[in-house]
Amino acid sequence: MHSLAQEIQGFSKHRLKKQSTLVTTVTGRKLLERRGDGGEGEVEQVDELDPGSGCGFVEDKSLDLQVGVIRPFLLLASQDAAHDIDTLQKCKVSHVLNVAYGVTNLFPDLLVYKTLQILDLPETDITSCLGECCSFIDQAREQEGVVLVHCNAGVSRSCSIVIGYLMLREGLSFDDAYNQVKLARPSVRPNPGFYQQLQNYKP
């Protein structure tokens, strides 16, 4: 019979589905390890964020509740944050722009939702969705609300919409918009098609 240790050693890392893991080092630093579908990873220190700000990392090994503050009225996150009422309330979210495919809106009585089911595929025309999405963000801003933009992981579709918004409404170049969004939410990574479409986008 195999011992437990042998079973653990024989367990392929590729079979693990977990996307991110919170690790506390011996010195007490907290690091968030992220792993993409291709096995590539990145590590980010998370303990320097002000825990009192409300919009930061929540210590939970399975959920991604990090909210990127792009502008005071514009936030970027994953579906985990969009489904977490505590996070939504802390961040004073009033409007939610859901650009995921097949993700339900959990709080229709409390929040104003707009849903566009966008597929995270390089051939999807992301720029054709920008006008509608930007109008909804403008509506939230005019009502002095806060809009949370999310997809499934908060990495490709939603960040592309937010980058497009900054280009369209603030006249930023693609590089400037991308860098601002990346700074607010370091895990963002538009798929290659979206990246190229936004690079070539002329509002």
Residues serving a catalytic function are 151
Residue type, 84: D
Q: How far is CA 192 from the centre of its chain?
A: 17
CB atoms closer than 10 angstroms to residue 157: 28
Q: Tally the C-alpha atoms within 13 A of residue 52's C-alpha that lie toward its C-beta.
A: 0
Residues 6+ apart with CB under 8 A from 119: 101
Whole-number Cα distances in Å, 82 to 66, 86, 195 = 10, 10, 24
Angle at 92 between CA 77 and CA 29, to 5 degrees: 55
Residues 6+ apart with CB under 8 A from 180: 70, 166, 172
Under 8 Å between Cβ of 198 and 126? yes
Q: Name which of 63, 103, 104 is nearest 86 in CA terms.
A: 63
